[in-house]
Structure formats: C-alpha cells, structure tokens
Amino acid sequence: MTIYDAPLRTLSGEPTSLEPYRGRPVLIVNVASQCGLTPQYEGLERLHEGYADRGFSVLGFPCNQFGAQEPGTAEEIQTFCSTTYGVTFPLFEKVEVNGEGRHPLFEELSAVADGEGYRGDVRWNFEKFLVSADGSVQRFAPQVTPEDPILVAAIEAALS
C-alpha cells in the first residue's frame, strides 16, 4: 500500500483518497483546534496559498488523541478553521494517528524518520509530513513552524 491508496473521507464525509495529489507535493499535518500550536493554522494557510500556483497543497487531518484538543464535530472544526484562521486548504475526517486505531495513512507516514532520526508514533498535534511529487516523505516535529526555514527550504526543494 502507498499513501495514495489509503481510503479517506473529507471533513464533510465524502469518500476520497490522496490519489488526486499523486505527483504533487503536499504537506500532511495532524491538526487540532484547542492546542497551544493551533496558531500554526495561519502559517499553514500562508504556505497553501503561497505555493498553490505551483501545485502544492496543505492537507489537514484533525486528531483528538493528544489532550482531547480536537473534540468538535466536523461542522464545528470546519467553522472554527475557516472563521478563526481563514483556512481554505483541504481538511479530512478526524483520524487516529497512533495506537490500534491508527489510520493506514499515518501507519505509512509514522514509519518515516525525521531529521533527528525519530520514527514511530506521532508525538503531538501539528506534526508535519512533506510528501514530494515522487512520493518520498520528510517528517518534521510539531514545534517546527510553517515559517521555519528548514520546512520552507524542503518545500522549495520539493517544488523544483
């Protein structure tokens, strides 16, 4: 299985997959509305808008596994993201990123090591996975902000 094969649902509940993004760089992020890192939504939206004309997308996956910081319904999540942070990037159904219920997408992504060699369970909300056009994955810790030069340089390289 590849990340493109994993069955997904949009935040509104429509069946989908990542197949439409095959061959395009994307930044997959597990997100939450009530986290100290939630303001990263602003930077993620700037990345999404700033690179959209080059085929890049941010893809958000709400998760309630860390401190119950994403307790809302799909409608509440959508309203919060759009009204508070102006989010226009695609949001998917709430998923589990760790444990027995880990979504197959995050089963694949969590096997990738970050720059410090960490692989395994997602550590917290806003962990980032940059998938290049060729399907290779780079992992970034939750504290790496969307504006971090390391992440921006990786996105730029994925777009070249």
Entry pTM? 0.96
**Which pLDDT does position 112 carry in this prediction?**
93
- Mean pLDDT for the stretch of residues 45-66: 96
- Of 6, 18, 35, 105, the catalytic one is 35
pLDDT at 1 over 80: no
CA distance 121 to 64: 14
Overall size of the chain counted in residues: 160
Domain presence at residue 23: yes
CA distance 58 to 85: 14
Domain presence at residue 3: no
Domain presence at residue 46: yes
81 is catalytic: no
Domain presence at residue 119: yes
CA distance 56 to 155: 9
CA distance 116 to 98: 20
The token pair at 51 is: 């690179």
What domain range is 84 assigned to?
Answer: 8-159
The string of pLDDT tens digits covering residues 77-135 is 999 999 999 999 999 999 999 999 999 999 999 999 988 899 999 999 999 999 999 99
The string of pLDDT tens digits covering residues 16-54 is 999 999 999 999 999 999 999 999 999 999 999 999 999
**Which pLDDT does position 2 carry in this prediction?**
84
Identify the CATH number of the domain in which residue 53 sits. Answer: 3.40.30.10
The count of domains in the chain is 1
